[in-house]
């Protein structure tokens, strides 16, 4: 079965009883934000997978796709600067 954006995004779940309802991976206490932070600090995907053995590579791709979807739909408004 090919991996689709929808199948990746289905890995992102929300549960108000886990991390206050923030987006998490497959109901685990592993947040999308934590994965993004690790990647932004230079952690390799393989390193993350070794440190969190319940994660799968598709979970990391799902976190990246979720973040992409959030920023791709952002609207940017210019602020006027007071002189």
29-53 confidence digits (pLDDT tens): 999 999 999 999 999 999 999 999 9
Name the fold adopted by 5-68.
Arc Repressor Mutant, subunit A (1.10.10)
Closest CA to 48 of 67, 70, 25: 25
Of the pLDDT bands very low, low, confident and very high (cuts 50, 70, 90), residue 82 is low
- 5: three-class secondary structure by DSSP: helix
Q: Tell me the C-alpha distance between 82 and 12, whole Å.
A: 41
Higher pLDDT, 76 or 29: 29
Q: Where are the domains of the chain?
A: 5-68
Closest CA to 23 of 65, 76, 74: 65
């Amino acid at each position: 079965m090919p991996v689709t954006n929808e199948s990746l995004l289905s890995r992102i779940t929300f549960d108000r009883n886990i991390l206050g309802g923030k987006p998490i991976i497959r109901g685990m206490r592993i947040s999308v934000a934590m994965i993004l932070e690790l990647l932004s600090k230079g952690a390799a995907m393989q390193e993350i997978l070794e440190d969190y053995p319940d994660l799968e590579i598709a979970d990391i791709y799902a976190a990246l796709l979720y973040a992409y979807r959030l920023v791709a739909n952002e609207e940017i408004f210019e602020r006027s600067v007071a002189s």
